[in-house]
Amino acid sequence: MIRIIAKTVILLAVCFLALSVNAQKSTPMENSFKSGYAPVNGIQMYYEIHGKGGVPLVLIHGGGSTLESSWGNMIPLLSAHGEVIAVEMQAHGRTTDRNAPESFEQDADDIATLLKYLKIDKANFFGFSNGGTTILQIAIRHPEIANKVISLAGADKRDRFPAGFFEGFDGATIDKLPPPLKDAFLKVTPDTARLHTMFNRDVERMKNFPDIPDERIKSIKVPVLLMTGDQDVISPEATAKMHQLIPGSRLIVLPGPHGACIGAIEAGPAYPGQTVNAQSKITTALVEEFLNS
């Protein structure tokens, strides 16, 4: 079933790409945008606003990332269709830390507080990796602010991850952080102490990754699109199990490893974070179809 879905989606996406590839030029992340810091539950949260019009789309990055490393490839494409708000979560990038561990619940609450600060009543949400898990918590804890949500490689339970995944965090040191993520952090916040704080916060959160009870996942009422790669950390089979729990949710499987379909730095050199590649255009077309349906 998963293979059939994946092949169907790829064929549809290639059709979208054929129609749009000549109209969309490969451009780096745009230079014209608004940015600022919002006082959010004890931290100063960095955000950027790109594009104009429509229901805002809030982008939430993955663990260890900045908004550029996860979303630099996608922001020009998505903001061509309307307003995009890209954020950096607790201790990540330019956002400050608080004297408390990271949690997905707190991240969801922080996003809700940010929207109040920006005087936005309702938005769409697109989260990648840890950001995809935060998306689930937004749908659970703050359904009143969520129009539609997209979770890319998010997870609701520890057993969605491959065997041995969590053991990799035991005794983890900063040298385990991929150099592209280190470089991305230090480019926007040249402070190694803050880099270590971010890394340690992320490691502790993943070591203690909490299951979301089935009844809470089943309680989600907002429209949900679940996405993953066919070689992703969160497998198509694991994502399909979440899909079966969330009433009315939709599922898309695209080719490639973690973050490939958005051109995230995390995906590796074959999917550079600042190059608008074919997969990013395909993903944009599918996201816009979901948001506009």
Tell me how far apart the alpha carbons of residues 110 and 98 are, in angstroms, rounded to a whole number. Answer: 12
Task: Give residue-wise pLDDT tens across range 271-283.
Answer: 554 456 789 999 9
Rounded mean pLDDT of 252-281?
81
Measured CA angle at 117 (ends 115, 119), to 5 deg: 65
Q: Which residue has the tokens 């990038």?
A: 93
Task: Give residue-wise pLDDT tens across range 113-131.
Answer: 999 999 999 999 999 999 9
Task: Give residue-wise pLDDT tens across range 179-206.
Answer: 999 999 999 999 999 999 999 999 999 9
13-22, long-range: CB within 8 Å, 24+ apart, which pairs?
13/254, 13/282, 13/283, 13/285, 13/286, 14/282, 16/281, 16/282, 16/285, 16/286, 16/289, 17/278, 17/281, 17/282, 17/285, 20/281, 20/285, 21/278, 21/281
Tell me what the pLDDT averaged over the chain comes to.
90
Strand pairing partners for 288? none
Q: pLDDT-based confidence at 29, cuts 50/70/90?
A: low
pTM for this one?
A: 0.90
CATH code of residue 8: 3.40.50.1820
Task: Give residue-wise pLDDT tens across range 164-173.
Answer: 999 999 999 9
Q: pLDDT-based confidence at 75, cuts 50/70/90?
A: very high
pLDDT value of position 266: 81
- The boundaries of the domain holding residue 282 are 2-292
Residue 180 corresponds to which tokens in the numbers above? 């592209």
With 90 as the cut, is the pLDDT of residue 221 above it?
A: yes
Task: Give residue-wise pLDDT tens across range 128-152.
Answer: 999 999 999 999 999 999 999 999 9
pLDDT value of position 194: 98
Domains held by the chain: number:
1
Rounded mean pLDDT of 72-97?
97
